[in-house]
């Protein structure tokens, strides 16, 4: 177990934990004032001098110096525990060498522990600090609606702009965009450097961790955030295990054409490879079609990943499938999918 303890225990601590319900804040200025102390900038040498700006990690010359004078990159993070635990994106941590965390008060800290889950693009990092102000993650079951107002905080483009706020709405939900899990779409401006920062509702709760945006000629205000339920799923396991014990079906799947381009579809998933003894034992074969997982329709790989968040490796699920022309049910013991997590100890 990581230093700092299990997340469920954390939530009961005197600091309030990240599962406490925030008091209503209601106005953008009040949200900014309340949450800015909980947001940090993360800066260091760029791991890749050719860093893609669309990744959400800003890479540029040092502020106040000619562009290119220093090969720096930066992102954003959210404090979730008073003794130094911070959420950010996996690609922020991966994109910066020897990162330095800078708080809203201007204090600088080195990261002494980092735990990365690339599959979700979530990272949990620690700095040796006390008395920090943690943000509040939205409680389980919080309803997010398309059209509700949101605020994004972060460090866009230049590190001198840390603490910037943008306002917008939730533009869409359940978006499957180059990600393992469903994302929140927002028109609140999310620029390179905003990655890892919070998307906040009007109660001042973190409903998402800003992850990426589309950058192209003619494309504006198209940003995406990792929803709070996925964030909670990942960091609970990072606190408890140092990695995510993610279940898998033990097969490779191919989506139907409609699902791949985002059309409404009832097309099943096709098994293209059977990779685990448990899938072989269940009688699953290449070419089989999967329609339902525990009676929930699944038409995309993201659908499967979302459903598997409810389970642990070793548990059994039921698949409704077409095999050899017949509709059958298969009982499958979930495997351990150990891809995507990485941990580092004291630096």
Just list the catalytic residues: 91, 121, 195
> 153 has which bridge partners?
165
Q: Residue length, the chain?
A: 347
Contact 277, 295 (CB under 8 A): no
Short-list 177, 217, 225, CA closest to 201: 225
Residues 6+ apart with CB under 8 A from 41: 74, 75, 76, 77, 101, 102, 155, 159, 162
Short-list 9, 6, 17, 71, CA closest to 206: 17
> 115 has which bridge partners?
124, 343
| One-character DSSP codes across 178-241 | SSSS-EEEE-S---TT-TT-EEE-TTS-EEEEEEEE---TT--S-EEEEEHHHHHHHHHHHHHH
Task: Spell 259-283 as b/e; 16+ CB within 10 A means b.
Answer: beeeeeeebbbbbeebebebbeebe
Contact 186, 151 (CB under 8 A): no
Task: Spell 220-244 as b/e; 16+ CB within 10 A means b.
Answer: ebbbbbbbbbbbbbbbbbbbbebbb
Paired tokens of 162: 């840390």
Paired tokens of 110: 């080195």
Position of tokens 């107002």? 149
């Amino acid at each position: 177990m990581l230093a700092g303890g299990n997340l469920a225990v954390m939530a009961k601590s005197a600091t309030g934990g990240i599962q406490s319900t925030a008091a209503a804040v209601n106005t953008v200025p009040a949200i900014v004032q309340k949450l800015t102390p909980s947001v940090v900038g993360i800066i260091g040498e760029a791991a890749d001098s050719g860093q893609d700006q669309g990744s959400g990690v800003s890479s540029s010359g040092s502020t106040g110096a000619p562009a290119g004078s220093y090969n720096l990159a930066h992102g954003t993070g959210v404090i979730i525990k008073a003794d130094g635990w911070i959420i950010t994106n996996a690609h922020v941590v991966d994109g910066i060498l020897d990162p330095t965390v800078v708080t809203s008060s201007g204090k600088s800290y080195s990261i002494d522990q980092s735990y990365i889950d690339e599959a979700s693009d979530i990272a949990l990092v620690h700095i040796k600090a006390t008395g920090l102000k943690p943000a509040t993650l939205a409680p389980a079951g919080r309803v997010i609606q398309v059209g509700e107002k949101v605020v994004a905080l972060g460090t866009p483009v230049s590190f001198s702009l840390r603490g910037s706020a943008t306002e917008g709405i939730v533009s869409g939900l359940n978006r499957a965009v180059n990600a393992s899990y469903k994302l929140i779409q927002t028109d609140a401006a999310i620029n390179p450097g905003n990655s890892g920062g919070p998307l906040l509702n009007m109660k001042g709760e973190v409903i998402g961790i800003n992850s990426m945006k589309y950058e192209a000629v003619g494309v504006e205000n198209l940003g995406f955030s990792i929803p709070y339920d996925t964030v909670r799923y990942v960091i609970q396991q990072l606190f408890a295990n140092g990695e995510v014990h993610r279940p898998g079906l033990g097969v490779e799947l191919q989506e139907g054409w409609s699902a791949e381009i985002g059309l409404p579809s009832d097309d099943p998933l096709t098994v293209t490879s059977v990779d685990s003894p448990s899938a072989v034992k269940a009688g699953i074969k290449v070419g089989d079609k999967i329609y339902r997982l525990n009676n929930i329709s699944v038409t995309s790989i993201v659908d499967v990943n979302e459903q598997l968040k409810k389970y642990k490796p070793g548990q059994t699920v039921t698949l409704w499938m077409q095999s050899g022309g017949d509709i059958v049910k298969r009982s499958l013991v979930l495997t351990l999918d150990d891809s995507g997590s990485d941990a580092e100890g004291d630096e």
